[in-house]
Amino acid sequence: MSQFGTEFCDHISIVRYVGDRWQTPSIEPLAPLPMHPASHVFHYASTCFEGFKAYRWKDGKARIFRLRDHVARMQKSAASLRLPVPGTELLAGMVTSLVAQQARNIPEPPSSLYLRPTLIGTLPNIGAAAAPSTEATLFVLASPVGDYFAGGTATLKLLVEDQRARTTQHLGSTKTGGNYAAALGPTLDAKEKYGVDQVLFCPNGDVQETGAANFLLISDDEIITKPLDESFLHGMTRDSILKLGAELGYKISEKNFTVAELLEWVSTFEATLSGTAACLSPVGALVYKGKEIPVRDGSPGANTAKLQKVLQDIQYGLREDTHGWLTVAG
Ligand SMILES: *Cc1c(COP(=O)(O)O)cnc(C)c1O
């Protein structure tokens, strides 16, 4: 299968917000969107999105993972950007009808259908820098994706950045394009300078997350990660792993920790990134102040693999979904 995010289903679900109300959504052929050059999103970045997956089970029907929670997160993002907030039934319905229509195009697990609801401000007004976009377009794009680790599990190397932040404090938990724009420069600089894969942002020593994934430390009996606050994105993968980890007997320690503690703990803890695209991505080394520090012996850990398997078994229909995380479509 082609590279993640480059292949698309031939239809999208789309709806517009005009005159203070949402119109009726429709499924339309995938095509370029005609946009006014003065659209709010082009100038003032009024945009947010979601990312989650649907899996095709042996019965031919698709199962969407944590749909309601992703819809709620998107509503939160939209509200924080003062964009029109889509109703729960509107957005969930757009996703499930598109997935149902595309169910036969979903490749079998570990492949899946990646779903990308996107909301943009379309008000044609370049004088609205300090005003909300009162017109918007909401669409759901669908992309068949293969196994992220088809080439084998490579461990990642992260630069520990203890000065710069990924984004601003008040937009940290908003899934918005501007946050990626803010993380891009520092991440590319770090790749060039240190040969790392990602930057772990730890402003003033507070270990937060990378540009697009949460960060967890895992031992044989404990999972450590930052507690929820406004500074970072509240990942559904993070949340699912913490819930499953607790059931498997791990002590769940949601606590703030410093770079100094991190550097000490990685001699015994596994480290991993978490996010929908790759699930868990083991970290093999950190780079701090020009020095490379291995995470344990640098190889992927057994606890990370075990937790990932438990989560994926639920997504693939091989283990009971006791949390009601899956929505049937198709
Ligand atoms: C989307 C995202 C994540 C991961 O969230 P999941 O719900 O697990 O996919 C983590 N950090 C950032 C900055 C993100 O945008």
125 & 161 share domain: no
pTM: 0.97
Cα→Cα distances 145→1, 6, 151, 176, 256, Å: 7, 9, 14, 22, 34
Q: Which amino acid is at 10?
A: D
Query: By C-alpha distance, which of 37, 32, 48 is closest to 180?
Result: 48
| pLDDT, average across residues 127-133 | 97
pLDDT tens-digit series, residues 204-232: 999 999 999 999 999 999 999 999 999 99
Averaged pLDDT of the chain: 96
228 & 94 share domain: no
CA of 257 to the centre of ligand 1 (A): 20
Ligand 1 probe mutation, 276, 281, 312, 315, most atoms within 8 A of CB:
276
Q: Which amino acid is at 194?
A: Y
Q: Which amino acid is at 286?
A: L
| pLDDT, average across residues 301-325 | 97
pLDDT at 1: 63
Identify whether 29 is preceded by a cis peptide bond (ω within 30 of 0): no
Q: Is the dihedral of CA 83, 84, 88, 91 positive or negative?
A: negative
pLDDT tens-digit series, residues 22-58: 999 999 999 999 999 999 999 999 999 999 999 999 9
Domain contains 328: no
Range of the domain at 253: 156-316
E strands present in the chain: 11-18, 21-22, 26-29, 47-49, 52-56, 62-65, 112-121, 136-145, 156-161, 198-201, 214-218, 222-225, 251-254, 270-275, 279-288, 291-294, 326-329
The CA distance from 270 to 256, in Å, is 17
pLDDT at 144: 96
CA of 263 to the centre of ligand 1 (A): 24
CA of 235 to the centre of ligand 1 (A): 5
Q: What is the largest CA-CA distance in the chain?
A: 60
Q: Which amino acid is at 232?
A: F
Write down which residue in 97, 126, 145 finishes a domain: 145
Write down which residue in 111, 145, 179 finishes a domain: 145
196 & 57 share domain: no
Domain contains 54: yes
189 & 256 share domain: yes
Domain contains 4: no
Number of domains in the chain: 2
CA of 208 to the centre of ligand 1 (A): 12
Answer whether 247's CB lies under 8 Å from 186's CB.
no
35 & 127 share domain: yes
Q: Are strands 112-121 and 214-218 parallel, antiparallel or unpaired?
A: unpaired
Write down which residue in 145, 179, 205 finishes a domain: 145
Nearest atom, ligand 1, residue 211 CA: 13
CATH of the domain at 21: 3.30.470.10
Nearest atom, ligand 1, residue 274 CA: 8
CA of 213 to the centre of ligand 1 (A): 5
- Above 90 in pLDDT, residue 98? yes
Task: Specify the residue with its C-alpha closest to ligand 1, atom 5.
Answer: 235
pLDDT tens-digit series, residues 149-192: 766 678 999 999 999 999 998 999 999 999 999 999 999 999 99
* Ligand 1 pocket, CB under 6 A: 51, 175, 209, 212-214, 233, 235-238, 274-276
